[in-house]
Structure 1
Amino acid sequence: MTHLNNERRPETQPGVASAEDGLVILDGPDGVAVTMTAAAAAETGHNLVEAARAAQMQIGTTPGSDEN
């Protein structure tokens, strides 16, 4: 019997964002893609930056540094 590891591992590669027909498409790992309005994408970007700063402070790295 195969045991599945349900442990989530953080993605280490960044997503790639592009603009197409007035929408923003964020391509992620394993074929994941999200299409957003420009406003939703801008707010998502802001939220990601703030969350990244908080996470870096939690582990003691400085914003913008490579923690790997």
Structure 2
Amino acid sequence: MAKHAALTPEEEGGIATAELGLVLLDGPNGVAVAMTPEAAEATGRSLLAAAEAAASQRERGETGY
């Protein structure tokens, strides 16, 4: 992502719940996603890995906002 991009990151996390065999993710600004348990697990792993990488980048002063 270009450093000049107008980007305002969300500071509030979403809320995940389980209902009728699906994982529902309610995010900020009305974002809502329904996933299978398998998709939710993959998304969770991907989010954690990306969060760790982004935190390291921020520690080094590499931010895009």
TM band (smaller chain): 0.7 to 0.9
Q: CA deviation at 1:60?
A: 1.2
Residue 52 of structure 1: aligned partner = 51
Residue 4 of structure 1: aligned partner = none
> CA RMSD for the aligned pairs?
1.7
Q: C-alpha offsets along residues 18-59 of structure 1, whole Å, 9 cap, x if unaligned? A: 000000000001111000000000000000000000000111
- Report the TM-score when normalising by structure 1: 0.77
Q: Which runs of 4+ in 1 moved over 4 A?
A: none
**What letter is aligned with 2:11?**
T
Rg comparison, structure with higher value: 1
Counting only pairs closer than 5 Å after superposition, residues 1-68 of structure 1 correspond to structure 2 as 7-60=6-59
Q: C-alpha offsets along residues 5-26 of structure 1, whole Å, 9 cap, x if unaligned? A: xx33100001000000000000
Counterparts of 2:57 and 2:7, CA distance in 1 = 19
Q: Any unmatched runs of 5+ in structure 1? A: 1-6, 62-68
Residue 66 of structure 1: aligned partner = none
- Equivalent pairs counted in the alignment come to 56
- Report the TM-score when normalising by structure 2: 0.80
